[in-house]
Amino acid sequence: MNDFARLYDKIDSTTGTNAKIEAMADYFRTAPPDDAAWALYYLTGRRLKRFIPSKSMRDWTLDLTGMSLWLYEESYSSVGDSAECCALLIDSMSHVPQVNEEPDLTLDTWMRDRIIPLAKMDEPDQKERVVGWWKRLDRHSIFILNKLLSGAFRVGVSQSLVARALAEVSKLELAEISHRLMGDWQPTGEWYQQLVSSEASDRHLSTPYPFFLASPLEKEVTELGEPNEWQAEWKWDGIRAQLIRRNGETFIWSRGEELVTDKYPELVQASLTLPEGTVLDGELLAMKGDEVLPFAVLQKRIGRKALGKAILAEAPAALMVYDILELDGRDLRAEPMAERRSVLEKLLEGRSTTFHVSQSIPFESWDELTELRKDSRAKSVEGIMLKRKSSAYQAGRRRGDWWKWKIDPLTIDAVLIYAQAGSGRRANLFTDYTFAVWDGDKLTPFAKAYSGLSDEEINKLDNWIRRNTKDRFGPVRSVTPHHVFELAFEGINASPRHKSGIAVRFPRIMRWRHDKTIKDADKIETLRAMIDEPTTAEA
């Protein structure tokens, strides 16, 4: 456990990519396989459910330290993390009774013999165990323990960095390690030893490939070279997924490595016609025939536990396929994209109306494609994808071969009316904002945003919010309507669940409009027009 805590410290104390990789590689070289498996589980963003509610952790801390609730809340507002706040307060109270120092148990022992069994205990027994550990541990170990207990353990590394560290330790190819890390796996020593083994191992039937991600095109499209070297496709607004057909079974994985097979029974049925050993990469969409429906339609079925006939008819799903990664059990990723595309088209031709090949956009010049891109919003797409015809299917976000050339977002001028403190390092600053537009003579809230401002702007706005608070509703402050901001968002649709009747996708702050007063803010009719006439909104 102490070694894992030291690893967390090293990662958290640096922003250097190489330093993080080196710290992880050093840990994996010496960690027992069982501990290494648990460390990987958390480093790759996986986590178990919460064992102890934050409120219980807070109350136990107050009982142990004798501290008042108001002082805890003031401390939390400065720290912004309940696990860290409790650890700091326990460590700072000299009168907290100390018992014999806790032995340095392995991470695996902590997880299997101590933390996981808490789930079957009642609260008094949980409290006795946890408080007893707190009395034996130093501050940093308490912090790590609390993070594990709260189900909120996160550390600043991506799965690609973890894979690079493991590739360095195992001497395996990065692509092989990345593939082995995908899918659903359990943190055991046996699994870890198979992961880093140089011997070929039979991957689980359901294991997806690492997704190849496009980079935003931030330069002139003409800088990409000759147009005939590139394939253009529409950028579909759905859920990135891989469909796997192996050994008589079908698996559907989202890009977030969530197994979503049960959510798409029509795709499972259609997959029965595919050859064994087939892996398709594409976008889950709501479609009726050849018509792509808005993302909001697909959302209606995403959160449902049971899919009845009504929702399946209202939001029928399809897979817009744009790549094939495996056929007849043969890995095709190293083949040029143009060849993979040819294989894909032959495979799906006339096979099923549930699978659609993402059609390429014919163009002869960049000027011609630029004009075609202007039709994106009318086609309910986010822009254009550009893929080098000679490119292999790589892992992660590798710049150079795949680009996403998105259309400009929708924008609107809105008034700040509510603010809430952030979390983590920004817990002492108001960084989460609610914005409103005019509905007659009233300001009606329609969006929340927390990104887009510089640190200097955040500090300036935070100071203003504290001096212009009208009312408080728990952590939320109502402020005097004064400041106008230009908000950007990717999509808009009607929503009876929102007070404004409108929901927007991915709202963020574009700029602080110091040149405008609240009377210049937009009206709700402007938002409604964007729903009815999306092609006019971009201007």
464: CATH: 2.40.50.140
Residues 229 and 369 in one domain: yes
Last residue of a domain, one of 406, 431, 455: 406
Residues 125 and 263 in one domain: no
The span from the CA of 466 to the CA of 445, in Å, is 20
CB 421 within 8 A of CB 433: no
- Evaluate the CA torsion angle 259, 260, 262, 266 in order and state its sign: negative
Length of the chain: 539
- Dihedral Cα 132, 133, 137, 140, nearest 10 deg: -130
Last residue of a domain, one of 374, 406, 438: 406
Tokens 């799906």 correspond to 348
CB 146 within 8 A of CB 87: yes
Assess if residue 189 is contained within a domain. Answer: no
Q: What is the CATH number of the domain that holds 225?
A: 3.30.470.30
**What does the block give as tokens for 49?**
């459910």
Last residue of a domain, one of 377, 406, 435: 406
**What does the block give as tokens for 55?**
């409120």
pLDDT at 181: 87
CB 441 within 8 A of CB 455: no
Residues 110 and 242 in one domain: no
pLDDT at 239 over 60: yes
Structural domain of 128? 2-150
Q: Using alpha carbons, list the distances in angstroms from residue 141 to 107, 150, 173, 518.
A: 11, 14, 34, 50
Assess if residue 139 is contained within a domain. Answer: yes
Residues 229 and 136 in one domain: no
Assess if residue 165 is contained within a domain. Answer: no
Q: What is the mean pLDDT of residues 499-525?
A: 92
Q: What is the mean pLDDT of residues 389-409?
A: 91
Assess if residue 203 is contained within a domain. Answer: no
Q: What is the mean pLDDT of residues 402-425?
A: 88
**Highest-pLDDT range among 72-81, 150-159, 397-406:** 397-406
pLDDT at 257: 83
Assess if residue 180 is contained within a domain. Answer: no
The span from the CA of 79 to the CA of 101, in Å, is 27
pLDDT at 94: 57
Assess if residue 172 is contained within a domain. Answer: no
pLDDT at 280: 97
Share above pLDDT 90 across residues of the chain, in percent, rounded to a whole number: 58
pLDDT at 537: 38
**What does the block give as tokens for 93?**
């109270």
pLDDT at 539: 32
With a threshold of 0.85, does the pTM exceed it?
no
pLDDT at 509 over 90: yes
Nearest to 178 by CA among 165, 193, 201, 160: 160
Assess if residue 168 is contained within a domain. Answer: no
Name the pLDDT band for 538 (thresholds 50, 70, 90): very low
Residues 47 and 137 in one domain: yes
Residues 223 and 362 in one domain: yes
Assess if residue 263 is contained within a domain. Answer: yes
Residues 393 and 424 in one domain: no
pLDDT at 424: 60
Q: What is the CATH number of the domain that holds 19?
A: 1.10.3260.10
pLDDT at 203 over 60: no
Residues 400 and 495 in one domain: no
Residues 270 and 367 in one domain: yes
The span from the CA of 64 to the CA of 90, in Å, is 8
pLDDT at 534 over 60: no
Q: Please indicate whether residue 395 or residue 333 has the higher confidence score (pLDDT).
A: 333
pLDDT at 506: 87
pLDDT at 202: 52
Q: Which residues pair with 476 in a beta bridge?
A: 420, 473
pLDDT at 246 over 60: yes
Residues 521 and 426 in one domain: yes
Q: What is the mean pLDDT of residues 279-308?
A: 87
Q: Using alpha carbons, list the distances in angstroms from residue 406 to 224, 295, 374, 446, 474.
A: 16, 16, 10, 24, 39
Q: What is the rounded average pLDDT for all residues in the chain?
A: 89
Residues 423 and 379 in one domain: no
Lowest mean pLDDT among 111-115, 142-146, 225-229, 309-313: 309-313
pLDDT at 96: 54
Q: What is the mean pLDDT of residues 219-242?
A: 95
Query: pLDDT per residue over 111-170, tens digit each?
Result: 999 999 999 999 999 999 999 999 888 888 899 999 999 887 888 788 889 999 999 999
Q: What is the mean pLDDT of residues 186-213?
A: 84
Q: What is the mean pLDDT of residues 21-37?
A: 95
Residues 119 and 218 in one domain: no
Query: pLDDT per residue over 336-376, tens digit each?
Result: 999 999 999 999 998 878 999 999 999 999 999 999 998 88
pLDDT at 98: 58
Name the pLDDT band for 95 (thresholds 50, 70, 90): low
Nearest to 90 by CA among 137, 159, 129, 160: 137
> How many domains does the chain fold into?
3
